[in-house]
Chains A and B, each alone.
Chain A
Amino acid sequence: MQSLYVEGNSVMHRLSPRLKLLSLTIFGVVLFISGNLILLSIAVLLTAVLYRMVGLPLADGLRRLRPIFLTIAVVALFNLIFNPWQEALVPLLRLTALMLLAATVTATTSITEFIDEVTALARPLERTGWVQADDIGLALGLVLRFVPEIVGRYQAIREAHKARGLKVRPTTLLAPLIILTLKDADNIAAAIDARGIRRHVS
């Protein structure tokens, strides 16, 4: 699975991931406090410039944001039917600026940096007994390892249906897929424990 990270050496690439995430949060809060159209327009311009600096070709950069921007635009349009234009424009600018900065952070932070940050964030929660921070990386790795496997299995089940002339329905397809996949859990768990990967579990 190709991550949305873009190789590069821009200012945003060099900033620490924690600082970027913190700024994104603060920026989000500030955006939602302010209702000033001029201020929000400046925010959109600034974040657009920042997003351009990532080094993504213009077409690629736009393609990434299209589905999100479309949702924002449709809601703004829907808003425009019922409310005066200023009231429809504020959320449009606000969410667009937030989207641009968030996309910039995503494009300039590698998956490894992100996982380190998430793990560090979960570390204080260990004392509550809810989560072991090291398990997060393990779980994420497991997901990425098994997605292709599951897609392959889905195709195999579908072909088996076709070969036997059965109609492809979600229930006849998904039930065996889920059962087959979850039945692997015991073996995978045994393999993880045999290697002593989760040292905190006796």
Chain B
Amino acid sequence: MSTRDLVLTALFAAIIVALGLLPPISLGFIPVPITAQSLGVMMAGVVLGARRGAIAVLIVLVLVAIGLPVLSGGRGGLAIFASPTAGFLIGWIFAAFVTGYLSERLVNHQQSGLVQTVSFFLTAMAGGIVVLYAFGITYLATVAGLGFTKAFVGSMAFIPGDVIKAFVAALLGRAVMVGYPLLPSRA
């Protein structure tokens, strides 16, 4: 990994941490805050691509594990990984990777802005929703003893918010692609 790539991943990890300092929105009956941080995970994929995006997210999780309150609401520490929703955190790494991998392959400079935005939206949905929820729901079903159906139903409440986030990530991915393209120089 070149020094530039190392710095890019660290800066993006810092952006994800900073997003957590914005106030979280709670979904009323379930105390999992809907935060801008999962938007950061999708953005890591569309802006940095597979490898650098996944490493940026991994850095955030290492910061959590070593006891820094870098998640939204000042959460942090190893205890976070004892939560029944920890599967979603682990899934972040794979979500960023898949979003980035698909972005690298589907989006290029010759396409029109609309095609780029739509492609980014689909990649963010595939990584940030399909892959992420596959991890989150599996973990919730096994560790909390909920069973797949109930874990699936319980998680559906968060899908609408995540679709909106995928849309925002797509617009941002397109904006960064115009303003400061990094995706083509993938690591």
Pairwise interchain contact B11-A181, C-beta atoms closer than 8 A: yes
Which one of B1, B68, B79 lies within 8 Å of A65 (CB-CB)? B79
Pairwise interchain contact A71-B47, C-beta atoms closer than 8 A: no
* A90 and chain B: residue at smallest CB distance: B145
B144 contacts the other chain (CB 8 A): yes
If A95-B143, A111-B67, A178-B43 touch, whether A78 touches B3 (CB-CB below 8 Å) is no
Distance to closest chain A CB from B65 (angstroms): 8
Q: How many A-B residue pairs have CB under 8 A?
A: 202
Pairwise interchain contact A171-B83, C-beta atoms closer than 8 A: no
A178 to B45 alpha-carbon distance, docked (Å): 13
Pairwise interchain contact A70-B68, C-beta atoms closer than 8 A: no
If A4-B67, A139-B6 touch, whether A182 touches B47 (CB-CB below 8 Å) is yes
Which one of A139, A149, A192 lies within 8 Å of B59 (CB-CB)? A139
Pairwise interchain contact A201-B2, C-beta atoms closer than 8 A: yes
Pairwise interchain contact A1-B69, C-beta atoms closer than 8 A: yes
Which one of A2, A139, A149, A154 lies within 8 Å of B13 (CB-CB)? A139
Pairwise interchain contact A2-B4, C-beta atoms closer than 8 A: no
Pairwise interchain contact A70-B43, C-beta atoms closer than 8 A: no
Pairwise interchain contact A91-B14, C-beta atoms closer than 8 A: no
Pairwise interchain contact A103-B63, C-beta atoms closer than 8 A: no
Q: A184: which B residues are within 8 A, CB to CB?
A: 11
Pairwise interchain contact A154-B84, C-beta atoms closer than 8 A: no
A43 contacts the other chain (CB 8 A): no
If A1-B69, A139-B6, A201-B3 touch, whether A67 touches B77 (CB-CB below 8 Å) is no
Which one of B2, B6, B83, B168 lies within 8 Å of A138 (CB-CB)? B6
Distance to closest chain A CB from B45 (angstroms): 13
Distance to closest chain A CB from B146 (angstroms): 6
* A110 and chain B: residue at smallest CB distance: B67
Distance to closest chain A CB from B155 (angstroms): 11
Kindly specify which of B95-103, B121-129, B130-138, B176-184 makes contact with the partner chain: B176-184
Pairwise interchain contact B145-A79, C-beta atoms closer than 8 A: yes
Pairwise interchain contact A179-B9, C-beta atoms closer than 8 A: no
A24 to B131 alpha-carbon distance, docked (Å): 28
A-contacting residues, B62-85, CB 8 Å:
62-63, 65-70, 73, 75-85
Q: Which residues of A does B touch, CB under 8 Å?
A: 1-5, 24, 32, 64-65, 67-68, 70-72, 74-76, 78-79, 82-83, 87-88, 90-91, 95, 98-100, 102-103, 105-107, 109, 111, 114-115, 118, 132, 135-136, 138-140, 142-144, 146-147, 149-151, 154, 170-171, 174-175, 177-179, 181-186, 188-189, 192-193, 198, 201
